[in-house]
């Protein structure tokens, strides 16, 4: 009580002093029952200390120019800034021993994720429980959509045959009749080569086995059914179906009743599970020198409704199918690395900010996004885990800006970035789209569905704003676990004066769900040029499935070659040959 009285007294004195023009600053310490927004609205706040506990926020924390120099701190990981709502009032589903339901407390929000307070993401009901089904072209498609020989036709198909992007034919051995074709809220995740899509189920034709979706994938489904796709067809899984609810811990959201149904051996405790309701927990815009230390950011949603390469999807499908409904559920189809899925923390037009010893977990999208005008910020000794998207995304998300507005000079160092892509398999550990002189060093990046570290965002050889970046001393492992045509370290387009140095890249997978080109340790994709690659160690690079006669490529070039880069003293082997550069292995990863 004395502490609380002291802080309120200091706040009152400071408020009066500010009103008198004296400019006195003050510090505050608050607990989970207090309003962060109200304290941030007080003039003169210099430091805000958050006591350990869960802070279930009513809205985004917004820091603007008036918060320049502000520190928000807590004991390491102690204060959890949650974008979710704890669930209470579970009831047993009538006639069901192990099913429990609770009303969705968030108005106008479709529940797509459910988090356990301690264990993180709960698996939404899924068919199959593990792995993927395979689908072929719709029975109504009377032309070849195989990528071999047809890639130049895709642009025409987007206009004249949009349905091939929003439908597939399941295989006869996979009996999906129990779905009955029109169960509301069913989502289908489909995989391409380097991207994935969420496509809401529109209907099923049980006679032809055709599945129709409301929204498109980026490429025609079954487009990747050629030689290197050993399983053939499009990998897909069905989620949020009542008939798929068959394992302990699975759940689904009944949109008709607005209730969450969970399979659980006993009655769930009040507050044991959390449903997210906001995409971003904290946003910094126009506030320099902000410090965030010891905070946890958790329980965020992800963005839906973006259809890359089909931005006018509603008009496109209506032209081909005049009876297509005027309104329909949102899906998502984004390119590789899944940019634009949202982030728990957003930083724009801010410089010299520090994020130290923070935790980003249980997110729908990325943990952190450094956007337009975010420069010279430092992210150190932080943990990113159980991510729906990726870890850190450095991307202005537009090119209609001045050169000095591209993210520059940011440092991501000594962080553990693991277990990502849980909702968006194409997301990566760390991504620099367009930005210069950023440094990615001594991080651990592991367990992602696609690439580990991605630099560059251009499909042509023209000059751009992706030069001078440094990727040094990182350990990148166990990536490429779902998709293909990527690598432990991946570049796209000219990345002049980029340094790739002393990284240890190992156990890069060739996933069972891969449908196209092989995986690489370092992949210089289209028109990449200008790198200095030295003293890197590459091991256990599984370009193809075990037993394949194809040659592995631990380092790969596409539309560029080795003469456009400099290579010095790298230790490269696709297998497990004894490592020569032991010092690189011993000194890579976080320095803690």
Q: Output the pLDDT for position 182.
A: 61
Cβ-based neighbours of 25, under 8 Å, separated by 6 or more: 14, 44, 45, 46
Per-residue pLDDT tens digits for 314-324: 999 999 999 99
Cβ-based neighbours of 465, under 8 Å, separated by 6 or more: 403, 406, 434, 435, 436
The secondary element (H helix, E strand) that includes residue 39 is helix 36-40
Cα–Cα distance for residue pair 365/368, rounded to 1 Å: 9
Whether the pLDDT of residue 551 is over 80: the answer is yes
Stretch 347-361: mean pLDDT:
98
Q: Output the pLDDT for position 19.
A: 40
The DSSP symbol for 164 reads G
Cβ-based neighbours of 245, under 8 Å, separated by 6 or more: 99, 125, 251, 252, 261, 263
Sign of dihedral through CA atoms 152, 155, 159, 165?
positive
Q: Output the pLDDT for position 232.
A: 82
Cα–Cα distance for residue pair 570/580, rounded to 1 Å: 9
Q: Output the pLDDT for position 26.
A: 87
Q: Output the pLDDT for position 24.
A: 64
Phi, psi of 240 (to 5 degrees): 65, 40
Bridge-based pairing of strands 282-285 and 61-63 is parallel
Whether the pLDDT of residue 325 is over 50: the answer is yes
Q: Output the pLDDT for position 13.
A: 40
Lowest mean pLDDT among 69-73, 230-234, 402-406: 230-234
Stretch 290-314: mean pLDDT:
97
Stretch 525-536: mean pLDDT:
98
Lowest mean pLDDT among 228-232, 378-382, 434-438, 530-534: 228-232
Average pLDDT of the chain to the nearest whole number: 93
Cα–Cα distance for residue pair 27/14, rounded to 1 Å: 9
Q: Output the pLDDT for position 40.
A: 96
CA nearest to 386, candidates 333, 446, 338: 446
Q: Output the pLDDT for position 15.
A: 42
pLDDT interval class at 179 (50, 70, 90): confident
Q: Output the pLDDT for position 362.
A: 98
Task: Using alpha carbons, list the distances in angstroms from residue 407 to 183, 242, 263.
Answer: 45, 45, 45
pLDDT interval class at 6 (50, 70, 90): very low
3-state DSSP of 403-437: HHHCCECCEEECCEEECCCCCCCCECCEEECCCEC
Stretch 212-235: mean pLDDT:
87
Q: Compute how many other C-beta atoms are within 10 angstroms of the C-beta atom of residue 150.
A: 15
Q: Output the pLDDT for position 149.
A: 81
Per-residue pLDDT tens digits for 422-438: 999 999 999 999 999 99
Q: Output the pLDDT for position 4.
A: 42
pLDDT interval class at 181 (50, 70, 90): low
Q: Output the pLDDT for position 549.
A: 79
Q: Output the pLDDT for position 178.
A: 85
Whether the pLDDT of residue 546 is over 50: the answer is yes
CATH no. for 63-82+276-587: 2.160.20
pLDDT interval class at 23 (50, 70, 90): low
Share of residues in the chain with pLDDT > 90 (%): 87
Strand order in the sheet with 378-380: 26-30, 45-50, 71-73, 291-293, 354-356, 378-380, 411-413, 439-441, 470-472, 494-501, 529-534, 566-568
Q: Output the pLDDT for position 384.
A: 98
Per-residue pLDDT tens digits for 119-173: 999 999 999 999 999 999 999 999 999 888 888 999 999 999 999 999 999 999 9
Stretch 489-509: mean pLDDT:
98
Whether the pLDDT of residue 16 is over 50: the answer is no
Q: How many secondary structure helices (H) and strands (E) does the chain include?
A: 5, 49
Stretch 279-304: mean pLDDT:
98
Per domain, the residue ranges of the chain are 63-82+276-587, 84-125+245-275, 133-242
Model pTM score: 0.95
Q: Output the pLDDT for position 520.
A: 97
Is 483 in contact with 194 (CB distance < 8 Å)?
yes
Whether the pLDDT of residue 386 is over 50: the answer is yes
Whether the pLDDT of residue 330 is over 80: the answer is yes
Sign of dihedral through CA atoms 387, 389, 392, 396?
negative
Is 525 in contact with 558 (CB distance < 8 Å)?
yes
């Amino acid at each position: 009580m004395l502490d609380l009285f002291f802080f309120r007294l200091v706040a009152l004195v400071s408020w009066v002093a500010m009103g008198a023009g004296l400019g006195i600053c003050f510090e505050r310490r608050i607990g989970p029952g207090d309003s962060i927004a109200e304290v941030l609205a007080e003039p003169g706040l210099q430091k805000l200390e958050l006591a350990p506990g869960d802070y279930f926020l009513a809205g985004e924390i917004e820091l603007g120019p008036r918060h320049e120099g502000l520190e928000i701190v807590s004991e390491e990981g102690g204060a959890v800034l949650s974008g979710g709502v704890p669930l209470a009032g579970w009831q047993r589903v009538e006639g069901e021993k192990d099913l429990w339901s609770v009303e969705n407390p968030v108005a106008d929000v479709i529940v797509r994720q459910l988090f356990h307070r301690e264990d993180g993401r709960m698996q939404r009901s899924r068919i199959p429980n593990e792995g993927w089904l395979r689908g072929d072209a719709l029975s109504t498609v009377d032309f070849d959509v195989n990528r071999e020989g047809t890639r130049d036709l895709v642009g025409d198909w987007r206009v004249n045959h949009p349905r091939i992007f929003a439908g597939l034919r399941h295989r006869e051995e996979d009996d999906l009749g129990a779905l009955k074709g029109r169960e509301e809220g069913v989502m289908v995740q489909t995989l391409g080569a380097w991207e994935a899509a969420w496509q809401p189920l529109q209907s099923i034709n049980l006679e032809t086995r055709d599945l129709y979706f409301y929204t498109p994938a980026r490429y025609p489904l079954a487009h990747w059914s050629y030689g290197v796709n050993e399983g053939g067809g499009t990998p897909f899984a069905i989620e949020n179906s009542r008939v798929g609810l068959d394992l302990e811990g699975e759940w689904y959201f009944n949109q008709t009743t607005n209730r969450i149904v969970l399979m659980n051996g006993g009655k769930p405790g009040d507050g044991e599970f959390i449903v997210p309701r906001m995409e971003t927990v904290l946003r910094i815009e126009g506030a320099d020198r902000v410090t965030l230390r010891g905070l946890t950011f958790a329980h965020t949603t992800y963005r839906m409704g973006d259809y890359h390469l089909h931005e006018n999807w509603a008009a496109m499908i209506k032209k081909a199918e005049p009876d297509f409904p005027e309104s329909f559920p949102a899906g998502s189809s984004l390119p590789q690395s899944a940019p634009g899925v949202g982030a728990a923390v957003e930083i724009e037009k801010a410089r010299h900010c520090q994020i130290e010893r923070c935790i980003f977990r249980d997110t729908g999208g990325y943990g952190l996004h450094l956007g337009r005008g975010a420069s010279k910020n430092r992210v150190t000794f932080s943990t990113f885990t159980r991510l729906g998207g990726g870890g850190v995304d450095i991307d202005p998300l537009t090119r209609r800006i001045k050169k000095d507005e591209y993210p520059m000079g940011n440092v991501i160092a000594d962080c553990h970035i693991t277990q990502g892509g849980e909702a968006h398999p194409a997301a990566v550990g760390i991504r620099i789209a367009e930005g210069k002189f950023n440094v990615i060093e001594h991080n651990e990046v592991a367990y992602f569905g696609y690439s580990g570290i991605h630099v560059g965002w251009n499909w042509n050889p023209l000059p751009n704003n992706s030069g001078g970046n440094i990727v040094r001393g990182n350990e990148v492992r166990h990536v490429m676990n779902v998709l293909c045509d990527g690598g432990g370290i991946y570049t796209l387009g000219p990345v002049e004066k980029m340094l790739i140095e002393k990284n240890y890249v190992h156990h890069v997978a060739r996933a069972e769900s891969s449908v196209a080109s092989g995986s690489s340790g370092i992949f210089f994709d289209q028109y990449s040029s200008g790198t200095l690659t030295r003293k890197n160690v590459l091991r256990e690079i599984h370009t193809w499935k075990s037993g394949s006669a194809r040659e592995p490529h631990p380092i790969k070039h596409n539309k560029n070659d080795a003469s456009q880069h400099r290579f010095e003293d790298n230790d490269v082997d696709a297998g497990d040959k004894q490592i020569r550069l032991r010092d690189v292995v011993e000194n890579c990863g976080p320095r803690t």
